[in-house]
Amino acid sequence: MLNRVLVVGLLAGLVAGLAVAVLQHFTTTPLILAAETYETAGKTAALAGPDFGGARIVLAHTGHEPVAGAEAEGWKPEDGLARTFFTGLTTVVSAIGFALVLLAGMIAAGDEIDARRALAWAAAAFLATGLAPALGLAPELPGAAAGPLVARQAWWVATAVATAASLWLFLRTEAAWAKVLAALLLVAPHAVGAPHPAGFESRVPAELAAQFAARSLAVQAALWLLTGLAVGLIWTRFARRVAA
Amino acid sequence: MTGLSIAGAKTASARTRAEALRVALVAFFIGAALVFVSGFAHPEAIHNAAHDTRHALSYPCH
């Protein structure tokens, strides 16, 4: 059974990841490249840095400690084909991860795996890892001011887990106490609040950032839904082959 | 159906359930590890390779 899960996860992630990599190429990547031109232009000024009452601003791309002059950076893919390749590869890896998590959830729940059910799970997963975290941490373009990275990542993961647990309790349990707990879990991460920067730094036009926030959520939704659809279709095809 | 075979069927179904949960656990950890590497891992080379996708999927980046 594990082999089947791994093969279906791999294939579904590959199909969905490649499709979304193409989508990214035409939706989010052009905005990231455009934002980087503003970021580069504003870097020298940003390094001098305004002081927001002593609070530290971590400006995306300048690293944790501002270094005067050239930015000390390790390996990164060359702009163009190499960058597109690694972006696509990462999306495929993420999609395989999504597919395996989706399969794990459905199997643990004892659900029959087909396209319709897998799509419903994928939609719920997008609420947990896309919409809910975005409420606290809006999708950001390079150059945007942001709170400390580890704190944001921790908040993101905690929000995704709490929202997923909340959806499970709402949809799959009957007890009144479970519904109350579900409501608490849904609200708690936002009551605590995401780590935010002390001020605003980005030189990227607001219109560009707004477009990016919307597109980025749509891209994540597309990745979840396509992954779910592919998981359901490929799983049922395997089942038919085993039965035949 | 005799009592014995009902008990046998129950044991078999419990075994299937335990096997399913084990598979789910393994799949979850592999899946979560892949999401972690592509979306969250800090080493600079991984961050730089994954950069555009991290932004595009609205993961916290930088």
User: So what's the ipTM on this one?
Assistant: 0.86
User: Which residues does B61 contact at the CB level (< 8 Å), separation at least 6?
Assistant: A60, A140, A149, B47, B51, B54, B55
Which residues contact residue A168 at a Cβ distance below 8 angstroms, ignoring those fewer than 6 apart? Answer: A182
Query: How do the domains of chain A map onto residue ranges?
Result: 2-68+78-147+196-243
B19 CB near a chain A CB, below 8 Å? Answer: yes
Report field, pTM of the whole predicted structure over 0.80:
yes
Q: What pLDDT, on a 0 to 100 scale, did the predictor assign at position A241?
A: 79
At residue A59, the pLDDT reads 52
Instruction: Write the pLDDT tens digit of every residue in A109-144.
Output: 999 999 999 999 999 999 999 999 999 999 999 888
Put simply, whether B52 touches A (Cβ < 8 Å) is yes
DSSP string, A197-238: -SS----S-HHHHHHHHHHHHHHHHHHHHHHHHHHHHHHHHH
Interface of A with B in 138-157 (CB under 8 A): 139-142, 146, 149, 152-153, 156-157
Interface of A with B in 37-56 (CB under 8 A): none
* pLDDT for the residue numbered A68: 39
CA distance B31 to A199: 36
* A60 touching chain B per CB within 8 A: yes
Per-residue confidence at B4, pLDDT binned at 50, 70, 90? low
> Torsion over CA of A26, A145, A148 and A158, rounded to 10 degrees?
-50
Mean per-residue pLDDT over chain B, rounded: 88
In this structure, are residues A14 and A96 in contact, taking their beta carbons and an 8 Å threshold? Answer: yes
In chain A, which stretches have pLDDT less than 70?
A: 42-73, 244
Residue B5 confidence (pLDDT): 66
The one-letter amino acid at A208: L
Contacts of residue B34, Cβ cutoff 8 Å, sequence gap at least 6: A93, A94, A96, A97, A100
Determine the average pLDDT of the residues in B19-30: 96
Residues in A touching B31 (Cβ below 8 Å): 9, 96-104
Q: What pLDDT, on a 0 to 100 scale, did the predictor assign at position A194?
A: 94
Residues of chain A contacting residue B20, judged by C-beta atoms under 8 Å apart: 1, 107-108, 110
Dihedral sign (CA A110, A112, A115, A117) = negative
